[in-house]
Amino acid sequence: MAETHGTEAAGKFPEGMRVLAVDDNPVCLMLLETLLRRCKYHATTTRDAETALRMLRERTEDFDLVISDVHMLEMDGFRLLELIGLEMDLPVIMQSANGELETMMKGVTHGACDYLVKPVQLKDIKNIWQHVVRKRKPDLRSHNRGDNDSADQKVQSGNAEGGRVGATRTRRKYSRKKRSDGDNYDGNKENMEFSTQKRTRVVWTADLHRDFVEAVNQLGVDNAVPKKILQIMKVNYMTRENIASHLQKYRLYLKRISDYTGMSPDQFPARWRYMNELQCLKNYHEHGRYHLSPAIASSNSSNPFARMNSASAMGTHGLLPTQSVQLRNSKSSLGMRTVGHGGSPLSHAVSEPLRYSSNSRLPHARNCFPSGPSGSSLANISNGSVLDTNYSSNSYADMFCKKLWETNCGFLAHANQFSVQSNCGFSALANQCPEQSNGEFLAPASRFPVQLNGGVLVPANQCPVQSNGGFLAPANQLPVQSNCRFLAPADQFPVQYPDLNNHPLVQMNPPSTNLLSTVGNTHHFPDLGNCSKSWQTTAPSMFHGLYHKDGTSLGPSQTSIPNINQLSNFATSSGQVLMFGNELHGPMSTIMSDSTSVTDFNEQMGPFNIGNNTSSTEMLHRSFTLGSNSSISPTIPSDSSISSTFPGLQVDSFAMPTQMLNGGDTNGIFPVLSDTIDQQDIFDQLDDNNGFLTRTNGPEGTGTLDDIVAGLFNHDFAKGDGAVVDEGQEFVP
């Protein structure tokens, strides 16, 4: 059989193969080394396993294969074998003078790819390179199955899944379905039990998941079945079962989304874009401008709505309604989980939610709690600071958003409340809607939110001509919005509200840190050394109950929390919904390709990102770490993302609000002027955000935090009804 050597094919492999030889017997070791050299391998020798392990750990990639004696003083060869099997993916050959079958069996079942009986001879050593090849090219082995390759034989004979033994870690090592293979299952079972090699599982990386989602989209959610998905994905090491398992989880995830929104998953792009545009409008209203980025805006930068090509707009952050959390320790996620916000202080206080099915752990309201703006909570609100405490969760932010949309942004508004439409609204310009033979107009996708198919036929008589010559497309012409008009009256727009009348109790911990020293209403940050930055508080709170008696910030130790069950359906540990955006990437591509990158005020400005998980303590630390003026401060994260987004861009080492960096794609958030990031602008935004969160002198009902929180609790704090939350007390509205 012609062996393929993979990457070595071009070279002289196996010549120069790097072998680490371990034997505490110097004579044996020397003999082994000699043999290795004679085979033109590159041999490294050591007399103790500890050293070998250290060498391997430090530079795994410098070795191709390990030969170890079984009987050694300090560390048994089997132990070494085990550790190598666990930590790295190297072929290991055991050798000993003991030719007992039992010992050899132990070696092989513990993951050794070969077992040599001393005295080792040249012919034994000559062929060991095959183990390396096999290890590196797992798919070769399926072809090898049944081949009479001598080195193969030994390995395969003890294992039903010889074709997969020793596969790289991301590959399945064995599979029960192979039971029906016909060969000796009992023996295999034993091997499984004895095997000390890490059991390999498919790890769904973001990339894999993206491919998966693409495949699902390609097939259509309803038609997507594991087998077809697998075919499209073309991942040779995965089984249909792997896909099925993931699909199961993915469907549950989609279900959570639709439960949350009342929309089917494919309706999301519309909603999303709508939110985005509302945000844009809001920014425009408040600031009278859009932030166009000369560095990144393309030629048709006059289209202020076409900014779907930012990661934030794509949903990696920001515009997605923020989430409440199911409290638990953080873990990585593909975004398909119920939980979020790692390290919540409440994690110990909650129990596992009801499990209707083990893969669908539907969140129980009890496991969720709302919190305030980024890194803050009621405690922070109470003293007017926006500092971190241990509270973190997003559902307040969510409600906050909704309130703001309602009161400020016209989320539930009629079309005529979108004044910006007069120049750049949702209406399609007539000359961009080619008339069809049937008298209808084909609106370009970029003008309408959900035209996954590249356009929509808008009957002319349903598109009232606007003063600018555009047509206002009614939502019912937009395919995905079957149950609501795009510019619909409020009652037709399915905004999800939390059930504020149902308040399960949730334990809340008081903040564990108090980094602040308070001077007047300005907070200083002692941890920051010489840093002169301070955080101006802007608003005292009406929530007196949240003050500690001595005036320091204190959160409620127990309070009533609105039932936010509806909001708890998706969350990620970072407050981001990573895969969500990715999933939309495909459907959105039509829009994106016809879009212009526009830097708006970042998500911080609006309500959407308030629930960012980035603790503001951390943020402040980073933000106000003042670097030298000559280089990028290492404390600034995401430098690389900046520079990759803006090649050649000089980033001054100023205080960079981390949260902005985290808050989305730089395309979407950085005010970029003349190829430099405008520091002042960032701080302006930051200040504005802070003010936005905490101002008290806004128009009535326009979304001061107190207004909103009061609203959440159905309680008129403004009337001075007094504290409702106190330490150890239950809040009764």
* Interacting residues toward DNA by CB under 7 A: 172, 174-176, 198-199, 201-204, 225-228, 240-242, 244-249, 251, 326, 328, 331, 333-334, 336-339, 350-353, 355, 357-361, 367
- Considering beta carbons, is residue 74 or 181 the nearer one to DNA? 181
- Considering beta carbons, is residue 79 or 228 the nearer one to DNA? 228
Beta strands in 539-621 (DSSP E): 558-560
- Considering beta carbons, is residue 40 or 176 the nearer one to DNA? 176
Using CA atoms, how far apart are residues 563 and 583, in angstroms rounded to an integer? Answer: 29
- The neighbour count for residue 558, using CB atoms within 10 Å, is 18
Burial of residue 108 (number of CB atoms within 10 Å: 0-12, 13-18, 19+): buried
Using CA atoms, how far apart are residues 420 and 549, in angstroms rounded to an integer? Answer: 48
- Considering beta carbons, is residue 580 or 624 the nearer one to DNA? 580
- Considering beta carbons, is residue 358 or 438 the nearer one to DNA? 358
Tell me the CA distances in angstroms from 601 to 10, 98, 227, 376, 503, one per residue in order. Answer: 54, 73, 45, 21, 35
Tell me the CA distances in angstroms from 76 to 64, 246, 452, one per residue in order. Answer: 21, 40, 62
Among candidate residues 274, 301, 299, 271, the one with its CA nearest the CA of residue 289: 301
- Considering beta carbons, is residue 221 or 718 the nearer one to DNA? 221
* Token pair of 378 as six digits: 């009621």
| Minimum distance of DNA from residue 355's CB (angstroms) | 7
Reduced to 3 states (helix: H, G, I; strand: E, B; else coil), residue 673 is strand
Using CA atoms, how far apart are residues 179 and 160, in angstroms rounded to an integer? Answer: 8
- Considering beta carbons, is residue 360 or 521 the nearer one to DNA? 360
Assess contact for 342 and 413: CB atoms under 8 A.
no
- Considering beta carbons, is residue 271 or 361 the nearer one to DNA? 361
Beta-bridge mates of residue 456 = 443
| Minimum distance of DNA from residue 241's CB (angstroms) | 4
| Minimum distance of DNA from residue 570's CB (angstroms) | 11
- Considering beta carbons, is residue 47 or 328 the nearer one to DNA? 328
Half-sphere exposure of 364 (CA within 13 A, CB side): 13
| Minimum distance of DNA from residue 168's CB (angstroms) | 13
Report strand pairing: 522-524 vs 535-536.
antiparallel
| Minimum distance of DNA from residue 189's CB (angstroms) | 11
- Considering beta carbons, is residue 175 or 303 the nearer one to DNA? 175
Start-to-end C-alpha separation, the chain: 80
Using CA atoms, how far apart are residues 632 and 618, in angstroms rounded to an integer? Answer: 18
| Minimum distance of DNA from residue 163's CB (angstroms) | 15
| 3-state SS string for 268-323 | HHHHHHHHHHHHHHHHHHHHCCCCCCCCCCCCCCCCCCCCCCCCHHHHHCCCCCCC
- Considering beta carbons, is residue 104 or 254 the nearer one to DNA? 254
- Considering beta carbons, is residue 236 or 359 the nearer one to DNA? 359
| Minimum distance of DNA from residue 226's CB (angstroms) | 4
Beta strands in 65-134 (DSSP E): 65-69, 92-96, 114-117
| Minimum distance of DNA from residue 327's CB (angstroms) | 7
* Token pair of 395 as six digits: 């559902």
- Considering beta carbons, is residue 358 or 461 the nearer one to DNA? 358
Q: What's the chain's Rg over C-alpha atoms?
A: 31
| Minimum distance of DNA from residue 320's CB (angstroms) | 18
Reduced to 3 states (helix: H, G, I; strand: E, B; else coil), residue 630 is coil
Among candidate residues 546, 607, 500, 564, the one with its CA nearest the CA of residue 381: 546
Using CA atoms, how far apart are residues 633 and 20, in angstroms rounded to an integer? Answer: 42
* Separation of CA 601 from chain center: 23
Among candidate residues 403, 407, 347, 399, the one with its CA nearest the CA of residue 611: 399
- The neighbour count for residue 531, using CB atoms within 10 Å, is 17
